Amino acid sequence: MHSVTANGASIPALGFGTFRMPGVDVLRMVPHALKLGFRHIDTAQIYGNETEVGEGIASSGVARGDVFLTTKVWVDNYRPEAFVASVDESLKKLKTDYVDLLLLHWPNDAVSLADQINALNEVKADGKTRHIGLSNFNTALMSEAVALSRAPLVTNQVEYHPYLSQKPVIDAAKRTGMSITGYYGMADGAVFADPVLKDIAARNGKTVAQIVLRWMVQQDGVIALSKTVGEARAAENLAVFDFVLSDHDMSAIYALARPDGRIVSPNGLAPVWDRVA
């Protein structure tokens, strides 16, 4: 597996995600994923499974220093008096003194972005996270956050799959040395019935999931999160670094993007999304 370098961070290009994964499955799958060779684990305060993620890493036999661990501060904890306490609680649950990457989970204008970014910088300065970044930010908010931050921001974690072009966000990230971390790569399962993706998979002797993940990690500066509660599928998801998609196949997948492709846009959290030309 290669790593993506972004503003001083070296992030494994394929991460194991735990969104909507019950604790019992986290306890089973995180150690399994690490033993397979995953070295990037993603969780969040709002997922309710940081404790199990911490236990899974501790029981895996893989040294903590060899795991790139990401968590995200939930919007209810953005107030200055709550932010640091919430991070301390996350570290306690995760059984670690630090995380490798700490993100603001969604924009929240109830607290000034300056206060949010200042809190991120504070916990980084205190050694509680090695790197800081954003999640679900549009390009305008990304630009504002970069300007406000003393420390470099290393990623913006966003929904990304064949049906949703994120070109404006990806281009904005590149201009500031940031990476993009894509979640929901399987588009809530829609990719598995797609004839274009099925044809590309058949010609390459791979599964549709492997094709989508390969398409993501083959892009410059893009990190992909994969999620599964199946041991065999986890092994398949990891096996995307032994082949390369042709330019034709990459273009065919890009062409699947459509104006209504976005799936994740919760009321009260989502910003005004960037339009794709």
Residue 47 is among the residues annotated as catalytic for this protein: yes
Annotated binding site for substrate: 105
Place of tokens 């990230």: 173
> Residues with Cβ < 8 Å from 80, sequence gap 6 or more?
111, 115, 118, 119
- Other CB atoms within 10 A of residue 38 CB: 24
Q: Please list, in sequence order, all residues whose beta carbon lies within 8 angstroms of the beta carbon of residue 92, skipping any fewer than 6 positions away.
A: none
Buried b (16+ CB within 10 A) or exposed e, 73-83: bbbebbbeeeb
In 3-state terms the chain splits into helix, strand, coil percentages (rounded to 5) of 45, 20, 35
Calculate ∠ Cα 257-138-185, nearest 5°.
40
Within 10 Å of residue 240's Cβ, how many Cβ atoms? 25
Q: How far apart are CA 49 and CA 24, in angstroms?
A: 9
C-alpha span between 166 and 148 (Å, rounded): 23
Dihedral through CA 128, CA 134, CA 136, CA 142, nearest 10?
160
Catalytic residues: 47
